[in-house]
């Protein structure tokens, strides 16, 4: 099993990336959340899952262990394959998936393309207890780390776009205080651009 790949990002697309590790290019399917978090053309580390079928070996990449864990939980459900799992994690953040399952919010999960009412109910029924147990101290740390990572990545993007670092930091802190910590990097950047 390949646990992660650490190398140079040579190609980036909303649905897949190619990472050069020691002269060998690995193609990984990714979620939109991972796509947003990855820097162009720089060294990166993606946590991986290898899905083996009779006719294909597909490598999936995740920006952090929390996203990979959520993906593995989702594909353990009958009727939810890797492509559907990736679609869920492209439409919702890991925190949103967790909250929807714990709150038994069928509508939120059903809003994902390709997820019907029965599948959404099955996801909630089978993962509710696992995710509730996960919402102890560990998950608070995970969401705190994810929040810090999102803020740092948004800050880096804003500085690249020409913002002064101290102005960007104040803007991001104000947005997080106003909107909460569950924002994605993309959301933080959008709010920051609107407020400037």
Among residues 91, 42, 41, 50, which one has the least CA distance to residue 68? 50
Q: Give the pLDDT confidence score for residue 41 in this predicted structure.
A: 73
CA distance 178 to 98: 22
Task: Divide the 196 residues of the chain into consecutive groups of 10 and give the mean pLDDT of each group.
Answer: 90 92 94 89 90 92 93 92 93 90 90 89 90 54 53 80 83 83 81 77
pTM over 0.85: no
pLDDT score of 134: 62
Question: Is 152 in contact with 189 (CB distance < 8 Å)?
Answer: no
Half-sphere exposure of 138 toward its Cβ, with a 13 Å CA cutoff? 8
The enclosing domain of 128 has a CATH number of 1.10.150.20
Domain range enclosing 12: 4-62
Domain shared by 129 and 149, yes or no: no
pLDDT of res. 131: 80
pLDDT at site 162: 77
Q: 114-142 burial, b for 16+ CB within 10 Å, e for fewer?
A: ebeeebbebbbebbeeebeebeeeebeeb
Strand (E) or helix (H) holding 62:
strand 57-62
Query: Cα separation of 159 and 68, whole Å?
Result: 29
- Single out the residue in 13, 31, 62 at which a domain terminates: 62
Q: According to the model, what pLDDT value does residue 196 have?
A: 60
Residue 135 has a pLDDT of: 53
């Amino acid at each position: 099993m390949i646990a992660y790949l650490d190398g140079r990002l040579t190609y980036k697309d909303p649905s897949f990336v190619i990472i050069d590790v020691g002269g060998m290019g690995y193609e990984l399917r990714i979620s939109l959340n991972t796509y947003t978090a990855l820097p162009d053309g720089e060294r990166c580390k993606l946590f991986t899952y290898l899905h083996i079928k009779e006719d294909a070996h597909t490598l999936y990449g995740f920006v952090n262990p929390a996203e990979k864990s959520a993906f593995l939980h989702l594909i353990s459900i009958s009727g939810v394959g890797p492509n559907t799992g990736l679609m869920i994690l492209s439409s919702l953040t890991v925190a949103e998936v967790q909250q929807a399952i714990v709150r038994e919010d069928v509508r939120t999960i059903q809003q994902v393309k390709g997820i019907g009412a029965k599948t959404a109910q099955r996801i909630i029924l089978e993962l509710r207890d696992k995710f509730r147990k996960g919402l102890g101290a560990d998950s608070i740390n995970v969401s705190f780390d994810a929040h810090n990572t999102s803020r740092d990545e948004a800050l880096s993007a804003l500085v690249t776009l020409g913002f002064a670092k101290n102005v960007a930091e104040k803007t991001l802190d104000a947005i997080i205080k106003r909107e909460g910590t569950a924002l994605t990097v993309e959301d933080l950047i959008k709010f920051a651009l609107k407020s400037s």
